Amino acid sequence: MPVFILLGWLVGLVLGALATVTALLSLGFALQGVLGALGGVLAPMVAALGSLALAVAILFLVMGFLVAYLIATRSIAPLLPAGATFPLAAPFPTPVPVTLAATPGEFFGRGLLIGMNVSVDVILLSLVPIVGPVLATWAFTVISLAAVIFVARNRVYQGFLGWSAWLFPLSWLATVFGLLLFFINIPFAFTAFGIGAFAFDWTTGVIETRGGLSGVTGFNGGFSLGNFTFLAGTTAAGAAAGRFTTPSTSSHETGHSLNTAAMGGVVLWINAIDENIFPSSENLAYGELTAEGHSRNMPGTAVADFSLRLWF
């Protein structure tokens, strides 16, 4: 079945390249080499679209991520517990940890998400003066390895992926909002818990904040914005030693950060809608299942929840 991940990755590479090159041409970028050749093929279409070319390229890319996410979601739907009727008013309960089995469709959708993210990040990073080729090669290698099952489940690799996400343009579709919220929230979180409100996960390169505006979620949990995670609750972040390396809310949220690094920031927002708005899938949303897999990769007693084996 892993061949379906490879197939999805290849299709994703093509779709991502088509959308990104179209967008760059619409913005007047002069492309060289392989990108220039692809640009030559797409130039007549871009000229015909005129001022709409950029919007069409962005819409095509977003729809590509959405379709890939839906493919993965629909493929695991038969494996979800009986009685899971959407919208869910609360997370679906389970007394023990439940791991959903892999399916060809989920593998294909996963590969598609990773492949599109690879293309966009690599092409954009290749435009950086002087160091562009180095950054693009690094991004291609690190992100693509997320499509290799035994590599994606390796915690050392996950460290490289999480830290590298600081460089990835599509990850910044989430991280830039995390950065803004982090700075705005500093005085509020500090007032609540002092320096203990802040923590850094050296294993994934993620900054965690507890308290302050993080409580706007209205529940004693957390959320991720790229390489920033935010936890609500009544205890300081620094009070839970080892939370990043044991099954916990913190390790779950860094799972979302890895999702963003491997699949792009667009997927984080799609997951947020899927989980909380429509169809309100709660802990059975595809992005939640994969993020929980990262928490399950940690030694200790696993949290009683549902997960998919992407990161473990």
Using one digit for the tens of pLDDT, what is the confidence trace for 17-42? 999 999 999 999 999 999 999 999 99
User: How far is the C-alpha of 28 from the C-alpha of 12, rounded, in Å?
Assistant: 24
Q: Any idea where the domains of the chain sit in the sequence? A: 2-148, 172-308
Mean pLDDT of all residues in 120-141? 98
Q: Which of 183, 187, 188 is nearest to 207 (CA)?
A: 183
Q: What is the pTM of this model?
A: 0.96
User: How crowded is residue 37: how many other Cβ atoms within 10 Å of its Cβ?
Assistant: 11
Predicted confidence at residue 1, as pLDDT, reads 76
Contacting residues for 108 by C-beta, under 8 A, at least 6 apart: 4, 5, 7, 8, 71, 72, 75
User: How far is the C-alpha of 142 from the C-alpha of 52, rounded, in Å?
Assistant: 33
Using one digit for the tens of pLDDT, what is the confidence trace for 245-272? 999 999 999 999 999 999 999 999 999 9
Using one digit for the tens of pLDDT, what is the confidence trace for 267-294? 999 999 999 999 999 999 999 999 999 9
